[in-house]
Amino acid sequence: MRQRLDPRYWQIGALTALLLYGVFVLRFEVTLLRAALIVATAVATQRLFTKDVRSAVISGLSIALLLRSNHFWVLILAAAIAVASKFVLRIKGKHVFNPTNFAIVLLIAATNDAWVSPGQWGNVAFFGFLIVCLGGLVVHRAERSDVTYAFIVFWSAIVAGRSLWLGEPLSIPLHRLENGALLLFTFFMISDPRTTPDSRAGRILFAALVALGAGYIQFRLFRTNGILWSLAITSFFTPVIDLVFRAERFVWNRSGGPQCEQPSLSFSS
């Protein structure tokens, strides 16, 4: 039987392609050297706990793509916190937070020198299409396409519904949805198979809660990065969702591919 390629390789390739596009075409405020050092920090931190560094590379690339700071040490610290949180913050062997999301939200909250700049991506239709294609490939192979598509449906409904309620033209919600950072979040962050609920029903509920929380934070509290804050907060409810909607837990097997185990047996990183 032919062995499936580890979906993390697909995600690493997709994120690397997006980073190169951002650096050379969109002129991101990050150099390849800085990005390499961020990834190296994530890998070095992972090596303190385990030899498998594939997830650490993904975390490092994600931070290089999303997080910005005037001080490089903030980005390095984010990479270390993201990876370390996977091993320190666990409930019954399962990660509590998406590592990248946790590190970004923590540093935004704790410092005055960390931010996410959604405008850096622009609204180029081609670039959005590229992210959708690459992201769709990743989530299908990681067997978490349900939470991705559920979130984008719920979030689109909230954004469009608010504009219709306010009598805004449809060009306004469409502009809000034509955002590279939103697509990165949807296809590469909320779809993390190690931090989403175990069951399909639980994941759809999780996506709805993240979307509703993001809408409240962004449109009622008028805070930026509502989806990032909402994902971090909603992650506290994942253990409860797993208790209500019981299912086998997702883990990476030793050969790298996805598989499911009973929750009590899962201690994979």
Is there a domain that residue 201 lies in? yes
Is there a domain that residue 259 lies in? yes
On average, the pLDDT of the chain sits at: 84
- Report the candidate in 229, 233, 204, 200 with the shortest Cα–Cα distance to residue 217: 229
pLDDT at residue 250 is higher than 70: no
In whole angstroms, give the CA distance from residue 13 to residue 28: 19
- When pLDDT is averaged across residues 198-221 and rounded to a whole number, the result is 95
pLDDT band at 30 (very low <50, low <70, confident <90, very high): confident
Q: Tally DSSP H helices, then E strands, for the chain.
A: 12, 6
- Which range of residues forms the domain containing residue 181? 7-265
Is there a domain that residue 219 lies in? yes
User: Which pLDDT score is estimated for 140?
Assistant: 66
Give the model confidence (pLDDT) of 77-118 as tens digits. 999 999 999 999 888 778 889 999 999 999 999 998 999 877
User: Which pLDDT score is estimated for 254?
Assistant: 47
- What is the tally of structural domains in the chain? 1
- When pLDDT is averaged across residues 58-71 and rounded to a whole number, the result is 93
Is there a domain that residue 2 lies in? no
User: Which pLDDT score is estimated for 265?
Assistant: 28
Is there a domain that residue 89 lies in? yes
Written as six digits, the tokens of 179 are 């955002």
pTM: 0.85
Question: Positive or negative CA dihedral for 56, 59, 61, 67?
Answer: negative
What's the Rg (C-alpha) of the chain? 18
Is there a domain that residue 121 lies in? yes
User: Which pLDDT score is estimated for 232?
Assistant: 96
Is there a domain that residue 117 lies in? yes
pLDDT band at 268 (very low <50, low <70, confident <90, very high): very low
Is there a domain that residue 57 lies in? yes
